[in-house]
Amino acid sequence: MTDNSVEQAVSQAVDRAYDRWAAEHPSLARVIDRLAVTERTSESLRDSEAYRKAVADYHRGRNELELIHRLTELAAPLVRKLLSG
């Protein structure tokens, strides 16, 4: 697993959530940078127990696609939380 895998998963989650959010809040979307949301989400994700469990599961099974999928699932609520307030 690489940091790139984490960034890929978070980017996918941010892209999905950000596009929906931006459609509802176009004025805010002009001033809130998608990359900043990605970075903050990555930081929050890495601090979570669920992230540590997903990484441990990866080390047991070495299934990077499964890890990326799981990290994308974990990142989605973090993105929504960042964008909502």
Please choose, from the candidates 75, 78, 71, 80, the residue with its C-alpha nearest in 3D space to the C-alpha of residue 1: 71
69-75: average pLDDT: 86
| 38, two tokens | 């990605």
How far is residue 79's CA from residue 74's CA, in Å, rounded to a whole number? 9
Q: What is the pLDDT of residues 3-62, one digit of tens each?
A: 677 778 788 888 888 888 889 989 988 888 888 888 888 888 889 999 889 888 888 887
Domain parsing of the chain, residue ranges: 3-84
| pLDDT at 1 exceeding the cut of 60 | no
Residue-level pLDDT at 49: 92
pLDDT of residue 83: 85
